[in-house]
A and B are shown apart, each in its own frame.
Chain A
Amino acid sequence: MIRRSALLAAASLLGLSLAAQAQDFQPALLFDMGGKFDKSFNEAAYNGAEKFKAETGISYLEFEVTNESQRDQALERMARRASIVVVVGFAFGTSLEAMSERYPDAKFTIIDASVDKPNVQSILFKEHEGSYLVGMAAALKSQTGKIGFVGGMDIPLIHNFEWGYEQGAKAANPDIQFTANYVGTTPAAWSDATRAKELAFSHYDGGADVVYAAAGAAGLGVLEASKDKDKFSIGVDSNQNHLYPGNVLTSMLKRVDVAVYEAFKSAQDGSWKPGLLNLGLKEDGVDYALDEYNKDVLTPDIVTKLDEAKAKIISGEIQVQDYYSKQE
Chain B
Amino acid sequence: MSDLWLPALLLLDSTIRLAAPLILAALAGLFCERAGIVNIALEGKLLGGAFAAAAAAQLTGSAWIGLIAAMAFGWGLAMVHGFATITHRGDQVVSGMALNILVAGLGPVLANAWFQQAGRIPVTAEAARFPSLTLPFAEAARSVPVVGQIYAELLSGHNLLVYLAFLAVPLTFWVIWKTRFGLRLRAVGENPAAVDTAGISVPWMRYRALMVSGALCGIGGAYLSIAQNAGYLRDMSAGKGFLALAALIFGKWRPVPTLLACLLFAFTDALQIRLQGLPVPGIGEIPTQFVQAIPYVVTVVLLAGFVGRAVAPKAIGVPYVKDR
Q: Distance in Å from the Cβ of B186 to the closest Cβ of chain A?
A: 34
User: Size range of the interface on B?
Assistant: 20 to 34
What are 10 residue pairs bridging A and B, where the CB atoms are less than 8 Å apart in the complex?
Answer: A37-B120, A182-B276, A193-B229, A195-B238, A197-B228, A198-B270, A198-B273, A202-B14, A202-B273, A224-B229
Binary CB contact string for chain B from 15 to 26 against chain A (1 if under 8 A, 0 otherwise): 001100000000
Q: How many angstroms between the C-alpha atoms of A228 and B233 in the bound complex? A: 19
| Contacting residues, chain A, for B288 (C-beta < 8 A) | 154, 181-182, 185
Given contacts A193-B233, A194-B236, contact A35 B273 (CB under 8 A): no
Q: Is there a chain A Cβ closer than 8 Å to B235's Cβ? A: yes
Give the A-B pair count, Cβ closer than 8 A: 70
Given contacts A193-B233, A197-B229, contact A188 B277 (CB under 8 A): no
Q: Do A194 and B273 have beta carbons less than 8 Å apart?
A: no
Q: How many angstroms between the C-alpha atoms of A129 and B233 in the bound complex? A: 31
| Contacting residues, chain B, for A202 (C-beta < 8 A) | 10, 14, 273-274, 276
Given contacts A35-B120, A197-B229, A224-B229, contact A181 B276 (CB under 8 A): yes
Q: How many angstroms between the C-alpha atoms of A36 and B273 in the bound complex? A: 28
Given contacts A179-B277, A180-B277, contact A198 B233 (CB under 8 A): no
Interface residues in B101-119 (C-beta closer than 8 Å to A)? 116-119
Q: Is there a chain B Cβ closer than 8 Å to A262's Cβ? A: no
| Contacting residues, chain B, for A66 (C-beta < 8 A) | 234
Residue of A nearest to B277 (CB): A181
Q: Which of A36, A64, A199 is close to B276, meaning CB atoms less than 8 Å apart?
A: A199
Q: Do A201 and B118 have beta carbons less than 8 Å apart?
A: no
Q: How many angstroms between the C-alpha atoms of A192 and B235 in the bound complex? A: 9
Binary CB contact string for chain B from 105 to 139 against chain A (1 if under 8 A, 0 otherwise): 00000000000111110000000000010000000
Q: Is there a chain A Cβ closer than 8 Å to B230's Cβ? A: yes
Q: How many angstroms between the C-alpha atoms of A217 and B119 in the bound complex? A: 12
Q: How many angstroms between the C-alpha atoms of A194 and B20 in the bound complex? A: 13
Q: How many angstroms between the C-alpha atoms of A105 and B229 in the bound complex? A: 47
Q: Is there a chain B Cβ closer than 8 Å to A205's Cβ? A: yes
Q: How many angstroms between the C-alpha atoms of A38 and B118 in the bound complex? A: 8
